[in-house]
Amino acid sequence: MTPNSLSLPRLIRHDLMISWRRLCGFLRARTTTRAVIVLALASALLHLAAWPLAAGLLSLEARDGAVALDGMGFVIVLPWLMSQGLTGATRALYSRGDLDLLLSAPLSPQKILASRASAVAIESFGAVGMFLLPVVNMAALLGGPRWLAVYPALAAAVLMATGVSFTATLGLFRLLGPKRTRAATQVIATLVGAWFVICAQIFNFIPAHDQAALQEALAHPAPGSWLDPHGALWLPARAASGEASALAIWSLLGVGIFVLAVRALGPAFARGALIAAGEGTARGASRAAPFRSERAGALRRKEWRLLARDPYLLSQILLQSLYTLPVALIIWKSLGPNGSVALSVAPALVAIASQLSAALAFLAASSEDAGDFVATAPVAPGEIMRRKIEAIGVPVALMLALPLAGVAYASPRIGLITLLCALAGAASTAALNFWKPLENRRGDLIKTHAQNKLVGLVEHGLSICWAVAALLLCLESWEALLPIALGLALLRANKPRSQSPEALAPA
Amino acid sequence: MSENAPQVSVAEVSVADVCVPEASRLDASLPDALRLRALRKSFGQKAQQKPAVDGLDLTIRPGEFYALLGANGAGKTTTLRMVAGLLQPDSGKIFIGGTDARKYPLAAKALTAWLPDEPLLYDKLAPLEYLEFVAGLWGLDSALAASRAEDLLRRLGLWEQRGQRCEGFSRGMRQKVALSGALIHAPRLLMLDEPLTGLDAGAARLVKDMLAEQARQGVAVVLTTHILEVAEKLADRIGIIAHGKLIAEGDLAQLRRLSAQNSAGRSASLEDVFLDLTARGVAA
């Protein structure tokens, strides 16, 4: 390393300062004091909410043992950390920010990667710890200090997940190239992250006799089997439960993987960042598609091209769809042995249609890069809006056509209700996004509604209203009128009262 | 400004004084490319409203190359944004090619192109895709648009990059893509806000040549620039704006006559004239 270059702690401090300011922006806190107050309040609330959960965990610990409980915890937390790590590694590789400055400075690639990876690790620890550690603190208060071993165990897990994430991201970069890696890591991070939600549901869907068998196997595992808590697989659980030797090995493993990854991958990271910077100019130079300037088609095609090229869209749609699936399973299970699959899928499809339409409408309405330019064109604002709606309607219809056809085949009545509610939900959330456009940049779908959380809440509210209405209509319940009325009331409350005189175009 | 100093206002430069560079392209039978009458726009709360454009009168003929100069915040960009239909004037009239732009905005926009100082592009679109979209917005025939797109991209040296996304382009390349978007629909009024920012010497020369050619073909070109040499060399007429008012207008010779710099007995540069007139205009 260059002897006089910036020290690693100062580099890390610089990265953390940037992360902190990003967090302040997310919290809409103008000053550090305000951000600290918001976080302290949130932490206090989370500690209060964690109290009953911690009490429940202590009774589970008494029944199944600390290692089994922590093992279950790690099944949930590790994918979450991996998802955070993959997202952070991708951002570190592709975000320009001050990377050009660092790469042009007399700093070794290892040092740059070490600072970036440390910042990602600390961010991951903060994001996961914000929700996990209040439970741990409450459990420590109620059940004793052994719970505090979760802190170092979590820190080691974060370091390990970060090291593995950077290795995986740079491996994919080499394998797939710069263009596909970003999309691939986003999708993988989404799937891995969704595993957390699916994990939380898995146990509920195991048949009762299998649940009992699993509990028995956990309580009395066969020596040497994968359920044996003395095996290597259970090392993190033993570390979190406070076993000193396991904690030492787990911590060494975490630090070792992190340091190895940083030392070995520094040059590859620097090369990758430089290649990623030239991604825009490295694309194919020719374009075979015919030049078609028919107005309606040109307006729709532009929206489709931009949607297809959004790096976060695919992963976000996948995430929303995956998060909706457990709802269908819960409904299916609650309907009992005579329950209809079509009935259980209907509200999930309505929710997916609403969320998908919302995401696409957000991109079309709030992420218009050249709104002022479009406003100078001799096209009525209404026509631009119509073409945008058409453009987002097609992918929504394409995505839902097959499952809707399946539902209609199983039950034409439920199929019709699902179709109507999906249309209503998609139209409602799209209208909301067109009525309440936000100042944003395309590619920031991941920050959807970070600037206006109320719009985000209303969007989810509309989605839930139409999904519940679909379920109740399928059950032929008059109470379906209530969510429909609530949804319409939400829409009415958000409808703009008058057009601003400056708003000559929707973009 | 002293009391004895001549008052400089638009009224002092009569139509007869205005230089008519090439009568053939400034066809008097055609309607004015741009006519502004008593145009006003203020910003801020009602109690503390500050006029950005204050009763502006301006006439630009087809084929005329007009440079609108002024200090930062003088009202140049606000004026162009109102003409482009991006801001509603508080009062006044805007006629583009004889069409009342406030009454018939779409008809007026069909004749106009506006190129802002910060190129408005889609990072995820390639130049050819961008031009296809722009051609669609202006409703051009596909074959004509394709041929114009190829011609423009070749002339601006972007043909090889036609399939690459704009996100990796330099400022100058982005400016050239935006310029090709402004020209593809063959506007009758071309408004450019600092069009040479970020261009290298070769590209700046190319753009200047293309703008001059547009004017020769009968397009009214209005540009704002801080590079006074460009205005001095290219513009048929120069307007100087301060505090939202046109304080002087004419060709360079006329502006020199209006300026106190004449008394120095030397041929003042546009920079000298501009600084003198704006200082006196502001003081007035």
Q: Return the domain boundaries, chain A.
A: 8-206+234-277, 295-494
Predicted TM-score (pTM) of the model is: 0.68
Cα-based angle A164, A167, A172 (whole degrees, multiple of 5): 125
Question: B20 CA to chain A: closest CA distance, Å?
Answer: 30
Quote the pLDDT of residue A251. Answer: 94
Look at residue B247 and give its three-state secondary structure.
strand
- Asked if B129 and B217 sit in the same domain, the reply is no
Q: Assess if residue B235 is contained within a domain.
A: yes
For A430, the 3-state DSSP assignment is helix
If pLDDT is split at 50, 70 and 90, which confidence band does A248 have? Answer: very high
Residues on chain A touching B162 (C-beta within 8 angstroms): 285-287
Q: Is residue B4 assigned to a domain?
A: no
- Determine contact: B264 vs chain A, CB below 8 A: no
Confidence band for A285, pLDDT divided at 50, 70 and 90: very low
Residue B131 sits in the same domain as residue B208: no
Contacts of A378 in chain B (CB under 8 A): 106-110, 137-139
Choice among A21-25, B182-186, B267-271 with the minimum mean pLDDT: B267-271
Q: Are residues B16 and B88 in the same domain?
A: yes
Residue B167 contacts A where some CB pair is shorter than 8 Å: yes
Asked if the C-beta of B186 comes within 8 angstroms of chain A's C-beta atoms, the answer is no
Q: Is the minimum CB–CB distance between A284 and chain B shorter than 8 Å? A: yes
Q: pLDDT tens-digit profile of A82-102?
A: 888 988 898 888 876 677 777
B100 with B128, same domain: the answer is no
Residue of A nearest to B133 (CA): A298
Phi, psi at residue B250, to the nearest 5°? 150, -175
The domain boundary, picked from B182, B200, B229, lies at B182
In a domain, B271, yes or no: yes
What pLDDT, on a 0 to 100 scale, did the predictor assign at position A97? 66
The answer to whether the beta carbons of residues A193 and A114 sit under 8 Å apart is: no
Q: How many domains is chain B built from?
A: 2
Placement of tokens 């209609």 in the chain: A408
Please check whether residues B96 and B128 belong to one and the same domain.
Answer: no
Tokens of A14: 């610089």
Stretch A335-359: mean pLDDT, rounded? 79
In the predicted model, is pLDDT for residue B59 greater than 60? yes
Give residues 432 to 461 of A whose Cβ lies within 8 Å of B: 442-443
B124 vs A377: CB contact, 8 Å cut-off? no
Q: Match 């070792």 to its residue by tokens.
A: A256
The verdict on residue B5 lying in a domain is: no
Residues B22 and B128 in one domain: no
Q: Are strands B99-100 and B112-115 parallel, antiparallel or unpaired?
A: unpaired
What is the ipTM for the molecules in this complex? Answer: 0.73
Q: Are residues B98 and B139 in the same domain?
A: no
Domain CATH for B83: 3.40.50.300
Q: Is residue B92 assigned to a domain?
A: yes
**Within a domain: B194:** yes
Confirm whether B25 is domain-assigned: yes
Reply yes or no on whether the pLDDT at B18 is more than 80. no
Q: Which residues of A touch B120 (CB under 8 A)?
A: 369-373
Q: Are residues B107 and B209 in the same domain?
A: yes
Instruction: Identify the closest residue of chain B to A283 by CA–CA distance.
Output: B164
Asked if the C-beta of B165 comes within 8 angstroms of chain A's C-beta atoms, the answer is yes
Mapping DSSP onto H, E and C, the string for A145-161 reads HHHHHHHHHHHHHHHHH
Same domain, yes or no: B273 and B132: no
Q: Are strands B189-193 and B112-115 parallel, antiparallel or unpaired?
A: parallel
Q: Are B193 and B274 in the same domain?
A: yes
CB A432 within 8 A of CB A364: no
Asked if pLDDT for residue A453 goes beyond 70, the answer is no
Query: Domain of B86?
Result: 10-111+187-283
Strands B34-43 and B112-115: unpaired
Residues of B in contact with A287 (CB under 8 A): 126, 128-129, 162-163
Q: Are residues B102 and B35 in the same domain?
A: yes
Same domain, B16 and B140: no
Backbone φ and ψ for B104, nearest 5 degrees, come out as -125, 70
pLDDT at residue B9 tops 50: no
- With CA atoms as reference, the chain B residue closest to A507 would be B86
Is the residue at B2 inside a domain? no
